Amino acid sequence: MKQNITLKNTFGLSQEEAGMLLGISRGQYSMFVSGKRNLPLDATTKLTALLQYLQEDKGHSKERKQLEKAEAEKTYLKLEQDYRNVTLKLHRVAQKIKVTEDIRNESFAALQVASFLEKQEEKHPVESLAEFIRMRATHNLNTYNLHQLTELQLKKESFELLQHSIGKKLKRLK
């Protein structure tokens, strides 16, 4: 891609501001930028002085350094807060995964117990116990299904990646 270094990029000023700075109208400045007109001698002198100053002082001003330092501190603090939030979310998702896995394992075990009760020759005093256990277990498996568990695991992975990425940025900003 072609890079155009324009006066607007160099100065960071609008056409109106640049015109005022050089002591000319916005229209004159606009025509100068487009190449349709030359600047008056006084404006050319001011432009030359400004360009020389910008060349000499490129990136070395105290104000710029102070702003960059303050900006870096704010960014660091914000990233620290983001890191804590992601860590908390990661912990919560890990807990949800554990609860979901535990409930699923208990439900599968309950289904085995229901199968055992149904295969027994002597029936249990409460005849519908096996049916009740099976209904509860299948309801739990429908509520805490494999799709939900997979979504939670994907969320956990994305939080881990985000946590790692933020951690790297924090180390770089230290």
Tell which wins on pLDDT, 30 or 74.
74
Say if residues 47 and 61 touch (Cβ distance below 8 Å): no
- Find the mean pLDDT for residues 11-30: 88
Least confident of 58-62, 140-144, 158-162: 58-62
**How many CB atoms lie under 10 A from the CB of residue 3?**
5
pLDDT in tens, 89-141: 999 999 999 999 999 999 999 999 999 888 887 776 777 888 999 999 999 99
Q: What percent of the chain has pLDDT over 70?
A: 94
**Rounded-to-integer distance, Cα 67 and Cα 122, Å:** 83
- The domain ranges of the chain are 7-56, 64-173
**Rounded-to-integer distance, Cα 15 and Cα 139, Å:** 69
Q: Which fold has domain 64-173?
A: Helix Hairpins (1.10.287)
**Rounded-to-integer distance, Cα 112 and Cα 92, Å:** 30
Using 50, 70 and 90 to split pLDDT, how confident is the model at 143?
Answer: very high
